[in-house]
Amino acid sequence: MISAKELHFLLDSAGAMIVFQETGAPWAGLLAFSSEERAREFIRQSRLEVAEIAAIAADDRDAMGQLIRAVKPRAVRNLLLDLNFASGDCVAIEFEGDALGVSHERRLAPGAHARKT
């Protein structure tokens, strides 16, 4: 499913995870990157204020389950892998219970914005 060894997540100065929500959508996607370099490129392009990049092993089911359980009540329904800020291209990986499920390529609409959760 995910070829990366680690998933890199963006955190603000208070430790909140940063998610991406399309304009008008009732839900958001958790930003994740397959490398620290891709995360840094997103930060640079978006000019988002990020305090830290945190990584989880992609095959750590317990950690991923805890993460998904923590964000789902905040209307986060999927993981957006390697979001390109300029084009909106990414891979959306749906949450199935407390695990990662089906993935598909996606292009987010212009005007989407990031928020903290």
Tell me how far CA of residue 63 lies from CA of 16, 25, 86, 106, in angstroms.
Answer: 16, 27, 30, 25
Element containing residue 69 per DSSP (H, E): helix 61-71
50-109 pLDDT per residue, tens: 889 999 999 999 999 999 999 999 999 999 999 999 899 999 999 999 999 999 999 987
Please give the DSSP secondary-structure letter assigned to residue 86: T
pLDDT, residue 114, reads: 55
pTM: 0.88
Instruction: Dump the DSSP string for 14-67.
Output: TSPBEEEE-TT-S-EEEEEBSSHHHHHHHHHHHT----EEEEEETT-HHHHHHH
18-39 pLDDT per residue, tens: 999 888 888 999 999 999 999 9
pLDDT, residue 25, reads: 85
User: Is residue 110 very low, low, confident or very high in pLDDT (cuts 50, 70, 90)?
Assistant: low
pLDDT, residue 23, reads: 81
